[in-house]
């Protein structure tokens, strides 16, 4: 059978469904280029770079348990759900007092789009700042023993060359401002970090000594490379999360009442220096009230989809008040939120893609009679008139 369309032919070939004639065509085409043609390339540099990135992927392999399964299934499940509903949100439920609904004309005249790109900034040990979005892929800096590179998928990766210890441990800082997409970071030990919007992390460029310690503000998800002899510690003020190799999410925004550490796989210890560290198991969440001693609590049966929604591209509101939701909106859409009157204590539940304009997210609350006014980068929540 003769296939005219090249794309279709390749599809047939790649799925092993090509007949001999089709196979022969694709293979003749594949071999039709001249392999001996000159290349204007620094082959020695390519050799080194390619070796390092391949080695880094293999090393990460042997240390980190793949995350794909759960992430993939959750994302797919969520996507299918949304497609089934054919719309933006799945479920809108409002509970609480005062359920008199009034028809209101929509107040949204302007709209604000979701962040299109990444605005992450890297601060090197000497204080130089680098806007990562405009940096070309490939290695762009050397920090002590480590090369810093931007990979094709936009991820920033540290690669420690050699085994000699650096004279001084150097620290870098990665910041993701408001109104930016999350950023992925591969540390020199193979640990992977996803940094949420309005967050930053400070970390050594190579890990030496008896522990691997990083400090964060805001929210990050970690897949820590296993290393029994060098525990990994995530620090935020008085809180320390100690791990050996595992997957967990840390939410420590300043404008939230509690710090939350949620465990997906493995085991971690959470401490605040005032009591014995508390061990948590997968599916549990430790909360800690910043500035208070002995405030660590362990919660069971945590909804992981809700906790990890940010990383998978969703807003997942599970019985949240208007103010809780607006705090998430402020960071993602980089807006300032104002209140006119009291927003009330209704609770809202809903799932919306983070790619939507802000108006789609606000619809979840509008259906319960709450109105919003958008002016440039300001959103005013208008309390319902009694």
Partner 1 sequence: MPESLTDKVLLLATDEQIAFELLYNRYWEQLYKKAFHRLGNSDDAQDVVQEVFVSLWRNRHKIEVENTLAPYLFTALKYCIISQVYRKAKKGITVPLSIEELERIEVSTEELLEFKELQMIVNNEVANLPDRMREVYRLSRIEHLQVAEIAMRLNLSEQTVKNTLTIALKRLREKLARYSTICLFMI
Could you list the residues that contact partner 1 (CB under 8 A)?
A: 4-7, 9-11, 13-14, 20-21, 23-30, 32-35, 37, 39, 41, 43, 46-47, 49-51, 53-55, 57-58, 61, 137-138, 152
- Residues 332 and 197 sit within 8 Å (Cβ to Cβ): yes
CB of 61 to partner 1, least distance (A): 7
Q: How far is the CB of 384 from partner 1 (least distance, A)?
A: 47
Q: What is the rounded CA–CA span in Å between residue 32 and residue 91?
A: 55
CB closer to partner 1 out of 58 and 81: 58
Q: Map residue 91 onto helix, strand or coil.
A: coil
Q: Is 30 or 68 the residue whose CB approaches partner 1 more closely?
A: 30
Smallest distance, partner 1 to C-beta of residue 155, A: 13
Report residue 140 CA to chain centroid gap: 23
Q: Shortest Cβ distance from residue 133 to partner 1 (Å)?
A: 16
CB nearer to partner 1: pick between 40 and 97: 40
Nearest to 120 by CA among 191, 193, 195, 189: 195
Give 20 or 127: the residue with its C-beta nearer to partner 1. Answer: 20
Question: Between residues 24 and 77, which has the closer beta carbon with respect to partner 1?
Answer: 24
Whole-number minimum distance, CB 31 to partner 1, in Å? Answer: 9
Q: Distance between CA 125 and CA 131 in Å, rounded?
A: 15
Question: Are β-strands 232-236 and 212-223 bridged in parallel, bridged antiparallel, or unpaired?
Answer: parallel
* Helices 304-312 & 68-85 angle (0-180, nearest 10): 90
DSSP 106-130: ----S--PPP-S---EEE-TTS-EE
Closest listed residue to residue 97, CA positions, set 301, 338, 335, 346: 346
Minimum Å distance from CB 45 to partner 1? 10
Which residue number, 26 or 230, has a Cβ lying nearer to partner 1? Answer: 26
């Amino acid at each position: 059978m003769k296939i005219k369309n090249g794309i279709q032919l390749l599809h047939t070939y790649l799925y092993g469904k090509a007949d001999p004639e089709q196979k022969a065509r694709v293979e003749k085409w594949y071999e039709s280029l001249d392999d001996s043609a000159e290349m204007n390339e620094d082959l020695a540099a390519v050799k080194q770079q390619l070796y390092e990135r391949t080695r880094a992927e293999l090393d990460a392999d042997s240390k980190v348990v793949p995350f794909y399964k759960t992430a993939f299934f959750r994302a797919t499940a969520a996507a299918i759900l949304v497609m089934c509903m054919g719309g933006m949100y799945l479920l809108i439920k409002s509970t609480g007092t005062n359920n008199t609904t009034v028809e209101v004309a929509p107040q949204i005249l302007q709209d604000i789009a979701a962040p299109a790109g990444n605005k992450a900034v890297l601060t090197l040990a000497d204080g130089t700042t680098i806007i990562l979005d405009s940096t070309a892929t490939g290695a762009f800096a050397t920090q002590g023993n480590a090369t810093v590179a931007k990979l094709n998928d936009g991820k920033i990766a540290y690669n420690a060359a050699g085994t000699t210890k650096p004279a001084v441990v150097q620290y870098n800082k990665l910041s993701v401002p408001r109104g930016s997409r999350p950023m992925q970071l591969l540390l020199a030990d193979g640990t992977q970090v996803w940094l949420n919007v309005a967050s930053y992390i400070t970390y050594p460029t190579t890990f030496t000594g008896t522990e691997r310690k990083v400090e964060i503000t805001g929210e990050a998800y970690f897949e820590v490379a296993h290393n029994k002899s060098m525990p990994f510690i995530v620090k935020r003020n008085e809180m320390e999360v100690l791990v050996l190799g595992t997957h967990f999410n840390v939410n420590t925004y300043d404008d939230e009442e509690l710090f939350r550490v949620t465990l997906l796989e493995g085991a971690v210890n959470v401490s605040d220096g005032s009591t014995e560290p508390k061990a948590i198991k997968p599916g549990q969440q430790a909360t800690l009230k910043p500035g208070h001693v002995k405030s660590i609590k362990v919660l069971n049966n945590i909804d992981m989809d809700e906790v990890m929604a940010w990383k998978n591209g969703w807003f997942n509101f599970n019985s949240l008040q208007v103010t809780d939701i607006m705090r998430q909106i402020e960071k993602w859409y980089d807006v300032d939120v104002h209140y006119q009157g009291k927003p009330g204590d209704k609770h809202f539940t809903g799932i919306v893609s983070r790619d939507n304009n802000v108006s789609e997210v606000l619809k979840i609350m509008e259906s319960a009679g709450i109105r919003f006014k958008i002016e440039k980068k300001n959103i005013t929540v208008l309390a319902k008139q009694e």
